[in-house]
Chain A
Amino acid sequence: MISNFLNLFEDIFFNEKYSSLNFIIQKIDPRVKIFSSIALISIAILAKSILTLIILTSIIFILSIVSRIPLKIFLIRTSLIPLFTTLIALPLIFITPGNQILNLNFINITTEGVHKALIFILRVWTCVNSLILLTLTTKFSNIINAMEKLKIPKIFTVMISITYRFIFLSINEAYRMLLAKESRTFKKESRLKEIKTLASMLSTLFIRSYERGERVYLAMMARGYNGSVNNLEKMSINRRDVVFILIVLFICIIALSSEYFLGVS
């Protein structure tokens, strides 16, 4: 059961098979993609109307469809974080003052509240969509390289790349520990006992990760690590990239100007 879940987890969140396809978005330079993602996210944060956000999200969805990413995979990946956002945004419906839609003795639901919550959720969803499209269509190593080329400090890129590399290992380690526990569990345990065991397993996992970190650092030292990681990857921007970035900028400008000058809401 656990193993199925872990496989599914890896398949859904870390599968790189769509990044090695060769369709429109996959062909674009990773730096351009990172820049475009950041631009779209900025617009999503600045946007004040539901319409703009829906249009932005639809554009991202269209891009993912033309990149031949199955809609189901895309939706599963992008909806996990907005689920939590919904929980966070839920109180907004009740605490925002304004036009009451529903009025029970102690609960008020207002139009403004619903509007605020919707915008909040949509905003997060658009941002997540944009980032998921980036990670789905780009090999992870290429994202790291692009970040380095964009002069993001090495300390961040090295940290991200090592984290990514060892996520799988930690998942496997946790899985093996769970199996080891299961194999020695002979009767149904009380919830409290189970939680206690899990907690101690977590602490063991933490110590193991810490010790592995030490060993990895030694391995890096043994190969002459001195704080900087160098890289051979070459990237080039061609006409397709330029056209793509112009389109993205155009969308951003339209969205911004319609929000702030034309007063669409």
Chain B
Amino acid sequence: MDLAIEVKDLSYSYPDGFLALDRVSLKVILNERVAILGPNGAGKSTLLMLISGLLKPSKGSIHILGRPIDENIHKIRSEIGIVFQDPDDQLFCPTLWEDVTFGPLNMGLSEDEVVKRGKEALRMVGLDGYEERAPHHLSAGEKKKAAIATVLVMKPKILILDEPTANLDPKGKKELVKIIDNLHKNQKITLIIATHDMDFIPLIADRAYILNKRIIAEGNLEDIFSDSDMMMKAGLDLPTVTRLFEFINEFMGSDKVKPIPLTIEQALQEIKRLLKNPQ
């Protein structure tokens, strides 16, 4: 079990003294899909920026792929890609192609390699043919995909996504799930996704940390979502389907449906089963 990320007792205060993270510890194994869940202002973005070495921790340590982050910061930046919440922060060149080639050119790759990777990254997010487009003329969904491409092009081993579904329409979300799925299955990328879009989580993660300045809970999605009181206290909720099946369980006498389904597909199986033998 190789650790992709190991965070120990990490604290972070803003320059004005406001404590954003309080003794946070977490571990992510290679090729794992981990969600970081928390309400607004829980410190999700701050944690992600610390992990990608963009902020310096006040206390505690971060190891990426077994190496401490502060010593190897430039090497690590090419191995860990972060997609910001607002794609407008990430696309800062006049054309999409320049944005996509920005990272690999900074890595000092050869021109052929940069072109090859650039085309490949755009194809992976379904934006081939968009090379000469100006970022400010793209739609929100296209901007998000473009932002992902600008990071994928560096072939990171770890991909960090900060609120990837923010501002996306249903079609955009579906495409995003597909892209993330492909990255995890075919490229073997380790994924860390911060979100509070509860219906989206079961589609893209296996394990989750609940964060609200501190780590409140950690575990597989089934375990985390079975503790609905804890989720509510943390300012979160269950996926819609899970919430529904909680009511069904209550209505039919406890624990009729176990494990509680998290996605619509799982729910469908469960409903079929219940219909076939009601007892």
Q: Name A's B-contacting residues (CB within 8 A).
A: 16, 139-141, 144, 161-162, 164-166, 168-169, 212, 215-216, 218-226, 228-232
Contacts and interface: CB of A to CB of B under 8 A. Distances in A.
Contacts of A141: 93-95, 98
Interface in B65-111: 74, 77-78, 81-82, 84, 86, 88-95, 97-98, 101-103, 105-107, 111
Given A16-B134, A223-B154, A224-B107, A165 B81 contact: no
Q: Which of A139, A161, A162, A222 has the most CB of B within 10 A?
A: A222
Contact of A212 (B81, B89, B102): B89
Contacts of A224: 74, 77-78, 103, 106-107, 154
A225 B105 CA distance: 9
Interface residues of B, number: 35
B92 A220 contact: yes
Nearest to B86: A215
Contact of B136 (A169, A223, A229): A169
B248 interface: no
Contacts of B177: none
Contact of B98 (A16, A222, A231): A231
B146 to A, nearest CB: 13
Contacts of A222: 52, 54, 77, 81-82, 151
A162 B92 contact: yes
Contact of A219 (B78, B90, B114): B90
A219 B88 CA distance: 10
B93 A161 contact: yes
A169 B91 CA distance: 11
A11 to B, nearest CB: 13
Given A140-B94, A162-B92, A223-B106, A232 B114 contact: yes
A220 B93 CA distance: 11
B18 to A, nearest CB: 16
A219 B114 CA distance: 19
A218 B151 contact: no
A221 B54 contact: yes
Nearest to B153: A223
Nearest to A233: B98
A216 B86 CA distance: 10
Given A168-B136, A231-B98, A232-B101, 16 more contacts: A140-B94, A165-B93, A165-B94, A169-B88, A212-B89, A215-B86, A216-B89, A218-B89, A219-B84, A219-B89, A219-B90, A220-B92, A220-B102, A222-B54, A226-B106, A232-B111
Nearest to A142: B94
| Chain B interface, DSSP helix/strand/loop, else mixed | helix
Nearest to A165: B92
A228 B150 CA distance: 17
A13 to B, nearest CB: 14
B49 interface: yes
A221 B94 contact: no
Contact of A232 (B86, B89, B105): B105
B115 A232 contact: yes
Nearest to B94: A141
B214 to A, nearest CB: 24
Contacts of A162: 92
A144 B151 CA distance: 23
Contacts of A139: 94
B135 interface: yes
B158 to A, nearest CB: 12
A164 to B, nearest CB: 6
Interface string B107-144: 10001001100000000000000000011100000000
Contacts of B97: 232
Nearest to B73: A221
Contacts of A228: 106
Contacts of A231: 98, 101, 105
Contacts of A16: 134
Contacts of A220: 92, 102
Nearest to B90: A219
A218 B93 contact: no
Nearest to A144: B94
A224 B94 CA distance: 19
Contacts of A144: 94
Contacts of A164: 94
8 contacts: A140-B94, A141-B94, A218-B84, A223-B106, A223-B150, A223-B151, A224-B107, A230-B106
A232 B135 CA distance: 18
Nearest to A164: B94
Nearest to B52: A222
Interface in B149-177: 150-151, 154
A230 B93 contact: no
A219 B92 contact: yes
A207 to B, nearest CB: 15
A151 B81 CA distance: 31
